């Protein structure tokens, strides 16, 4: 069950509760006189679905989603929300956040204090090949391309809208973005590889880093440490989100 994408588990819970509600409405007249108001049934649907979140192995924060989902659908029916808009919103969200479904990595961005901290790795080096794995809107790639000592600044991104945006952005500001999966990159080309992803891909990514990166190069992960691997350095930044950079010198 834990291996299934969380969205499927959440929908399975909703369907299970819906089935339970249907049976309950069928047998309830034995004890309580109908009719039963729709709003009450919808609230119960949300409540029961929220209660089943942890027994089914979903993180606690799914409770709110599970509770609000039936309420949202009911509200949409009440205001006769055109389903075409639901489709349009879904497609827009997918174009930006499609990597949530695979590597469980959404789009959030490195801030400028972190970029300044990254500079400290670049400054003492020369002829750097820099790579941002999952480059989002391309700000890190363009920033690095403008630094002295950086020969190539590359990013790879597969979410369609961020890719198109960053391609254009880097065309004007410097650096190069490739529509490539992080798992298909060849890390041996790079001296500094930066990743700001999520806990999910880190163990597998570390195997790739160890396999491909050359001695003397650096792998830097923003916020997400590689489990069970001691970083060479940990930098705690003093920015608003208290960013932690995990630095792994490859030897």
Ligand X SMILES: C[S@@+](CC[C@H](N)C(=O)[O-])C[C@H]1O[C@@H](n2cnc3c(N)ncnc32)[C@H](O)[C@@H]1O
Give residues in contact with ligand X (CB under 6 A). 99, 102-103, 105, 107-110, 132, 134-136, 139-140, 156-159, 162, 181-182, 196-197
Cα distances from 45 to residues 21, 35, 138, in angstroms, run 7, 17, 42
Which spans in the chain are helix H?
A: 6-27, 38-51, 62-78, 83-97, 99-102, 112-122, 139-145, 160-173, 202-212
Query: Interhelix angle for 38-51 vs 6-27, to 10°?
Result: 130
Identify which of 45, 47, 62 has the alpha carbon closest to the alpha carbon of residue 10.
Answer: 62
Q: Which is nearer to ligand X, 20 or 165 (CB)?
A: 165
CB of 221 to ligand X, least distance (A): 11
Q: Which is nearer to ligand X, 49 or 99 (CB)?
A: 99
CB of 166 to ligand X, least distance (A): 9
Q: Which is nearer to ligand X, 46 or 138 (CB)?
A: 138
CB of 126 to ligand X, least distance (A): 24
Q: Which residue, chain included where needed, has tokens 């009440």?
A: 78
User: What are the structure tokens assigned to 191, written together?
Assistant: 């001296």
Phi, psi torsion values for 189, nearest 5 degrees? -75, -20
CB of 204 to ligand X, least distance (A): 11
Q: Which is nearer to ligand X, 62 or 130 (CB)?
A: 130
Distance CA 43, CA 164 (A): 41
Q: Which is nearer to ligand X, 14 or 221 (CB)?
A: 221
CB of 55 to ligand X, least distance (A): 30
CB of 147 to ligand X, least distance (A): 16
Minimal CB distance residue for ligand X: 134
Q: Which is nearer to ligand X, 49 or 140 (CB)?
A: 140
Contact in structure between 222 and 111 (CB atoms under 8 Å): no
Distance CA 124, CA 146 (A): 16
């Amino acid at each position: 069950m834990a291996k299934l994408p969380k969205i499927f588990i959440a929908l399975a819970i909703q369907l299970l509760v819906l089935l339970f509600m249907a049976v309950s409405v069928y047998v309830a007249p034995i004890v309580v006189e109908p009719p039963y108001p729709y709003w009450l049934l919808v609230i119960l649907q949300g409540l029961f679905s929220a209660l089943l979140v942890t027994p089914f192995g979903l993180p606690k924060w799914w409770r709110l989603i599970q509770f609000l989902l039936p309420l949202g659908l009911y509200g949409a029916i009440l205001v006769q929300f055109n389903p075409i808009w639901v489709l349009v919103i879904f497609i827009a969200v997918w174009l930006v956040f499609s990597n949530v479904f695979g590597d469980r990595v959404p789009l959030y961005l490195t801030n400028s204090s972190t970029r300044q901290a990254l500079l400290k790795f670049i400054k003492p080096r020369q002829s750097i090949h820099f790579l941002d794995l999952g480059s989002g809107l391309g700000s890190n790639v363009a920033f690095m391309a403008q630094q002295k000592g950086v020969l190539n600044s590359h990013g790879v991104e597969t979410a369609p809208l961020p890719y198109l945006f960053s391609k254009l952005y880097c065309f004007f500001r410097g650096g190069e973005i490739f529509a490539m999966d992080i798992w298909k990159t060849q890390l041996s080309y790079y001296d500094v590889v930066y990743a700001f992803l999520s806990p999910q891909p880190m163990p597998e990514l570390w195997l790739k880093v160890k396999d491909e990166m050359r001695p003397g190069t650096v792998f830097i992960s923003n916020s997400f440490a590689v489990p069970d691997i001691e970083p060479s350095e940990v930098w705690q930044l003093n920015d608003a989100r208290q960013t932690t950079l995990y630095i792994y010198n490859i030897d």
